Amino acid sequence: MTAVSIVIPAYNAENTLARTLEACRAQSLPCELVVADDGSTDSTPSIAERFGVKYLRQENRGAAAARNLGWRAASGRYVLFTDSDCVPDRDWALTLVKLLDEGAGAAGGTYTLANPESLVASCIHYEIQYRHARLPREVRYLGSFSLGAPREVLESLGGFDESFRIACGEDSDLTYRIAASGRRLLFTREARTGHFFPESARGFLRQQFWRGYWIMKLVAKHPGRLGNDDYSGKRDAVQPPLFALSAVSLPFCAAFGWMPCWLALNLAAFLLNLPPAFFAVRASGQARLLWMLPLLYLRGFCWAAGCAAGTVKFILLKK
């Protein structure tokens, strides 16, 4: 049987790590468990010790560096990655390994919702499910919350780019490079991982600003890929400039009496997210998920602001 390791980067993960480790230890396929602690200051180390996993620690350098620390110390021929706020289903590892046994350069799966009582978390979850529902089996991007790769592939490409300092863009970068090397990326909805999504709208919007910021580093490194990787579509690519135009044009429209034009622009921006909102209501049977519309509308401005800041740093200043 092929040796398999599960690598879990963790930073101040005391609220969820135990559930993650319980789920990983209960996999139908025996796996080595590796926790790569990214400088936690809470009880994360003692939780990992209680489960008897291979525990590694580094100064806080980001999830990409923690994942690299973990897979380099892992003993498995196949390395699977999940996050410290994720709860994989029992057959998650087995399902990904079957795809890797087909010769895939990487394999990935989808989410389930670990905190369905939260309206914000539910909106985030179903917006992602709208994307995942349209993915083909062979894709051009996979997320590191549910990712498996042969160790030799990670070694040949140097693993994750540690200059991505938060958990955003580093998984896209790695899987873009895997695909560019001629290897296949395989996706399956049968590999399911429960996830604790943000429950605060403010926290989610703050997170989305930083996602917009770091996505511009990805754009600088892989021009032309945003909106063309199966997961991110044209709707994602058009939103940052559209919402930036809305914000910048407001004082001019107010000054020159062009407010109907500004309102029409914002209506178009608002309606961009009708498809995922309607999908969410149909899939969940919950009309309350129409709240996704104002939430994603506000996200658009956060994306625009983050992308603007990231454009200055990563594209104009080339840092």
Domain ranges of the chain: 4-199, 200-319
**DSSP strand pairing (185-195 vs 86-88):** antiparallel
Helix axes 119-132, 201-221, angle to 10 degrees: 30
Phi, psi of 131 (to 5 degrees): -70, -50
Residue 226 — very low, low, confident or very high, per pLDDT cuts 50/70/90?
confident
**pLDDT tens-digit map of 16-71:** 999 999 999 999 999 999 999 999 999 999 999 999 999 999 999 999 999 999 99
Domain 4-199 belongs in CATH node 3.90.550.10 = yes
Q: Which residue has the tokens 């209501």?
A: 281
What is the CB neighbour count within 10 angstroms for residue 259? 12
Closest among 273, 271, 166 to 217, alpha carbons compared: 166
The pLDDT, as a whole number, for residue 2 is: 66
Measured CA to CA, the distance from residue 170 to residue 154 in angstroms comes to: 13
pTM given for the model: 0.94
**pLDDT tens-digit map of 105-139:** 999 999 999 999 999 999 999 999 999 999 999 99
**DSSP strand pairing (185-195 vs 138-139):** antiparallel
